[in-house]
């Protein structure tokens, strides 16, 4: 357990509404990641952060934005939710260096867009 929590854990929303998911970590990790998990695709990176106010796009960033104003919080926003964004969203942190480096994942947020 790397002290990662996600909120909410479950959310149902309607198409066109904005949605914000929160990832919170308690161990001062520099790197944080947002992934989405869909059948047949494993985990796909949406955005990641390498420090406060430092973020970069991942593989599937369209329709998502992120913010990191504090080390401990990394927010993922769906500006206008679409049904294709129905998914399970995982936050992760990176721990360790070089060959001991690994990622630890939060419990996930299940999002349904109707």
Partner 1 sequence: ILNVEQSPQSLHVQEGDSTNFTCSFPSSNFYALHWYRWETAKSPEALFVMTLNGDEKKKGRISATLNTKEGYSYLYIKGSQPEDSATYLCAFYEEYGNKLVFGAGTILRVKS
| Interface residue list for partner 1 (CB under 8 A) | 31, 33, 35, 40-45, 48, 50, 56, 58-59, 90, 98-108
Residue 35: partners with Cβ closer than 8 Å, 6 or more residues away: 43, 44, 45, 46, 58, 89, 90, 91, 92, 105
Phi-psi region of 96 (alpha: psi -120 to 50; beta: other; left: phi over 0): left
Nearer to partner 1 among residue 11 and residue 44 (C-beta) = 44
> Are 22 and 91 within 8 A, CB to CB?
no
Least gap, CB of 35 to partner 1 (angstroms): 8
CB of 26 to partner 1, least distance (A): 16
- 77 vs 105, which CB is nearer to partner 1? 105
User: Toward partner 1, which CB reaches closer, 13 or 45?
Assistant: 45
């Amino acid at each position: 357990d790397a002290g990662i929590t996600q909120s909410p854990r479950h959310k149902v929303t309607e198409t066109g509404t904005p949605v914000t998911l929160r990832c919170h970590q308690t161990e001062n990790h520099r790197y944080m990641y947002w992934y989405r998990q869909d059948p047949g695709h494993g985990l796909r990176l949406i955005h990641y952060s390498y420090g406060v106010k430092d973020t970069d796009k991942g593989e599937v960033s369209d329709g998502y934005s992120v913010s990191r104003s504090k080390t401990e919080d990394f927010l993922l926003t769906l500006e206008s939710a679409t049904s294709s964004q129905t998914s399970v969203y995982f936050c992760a942190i990176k721990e360790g260096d070089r060959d001991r480096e690994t990622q630890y994942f939060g419990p996930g947020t299940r999002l349904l867009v109707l």
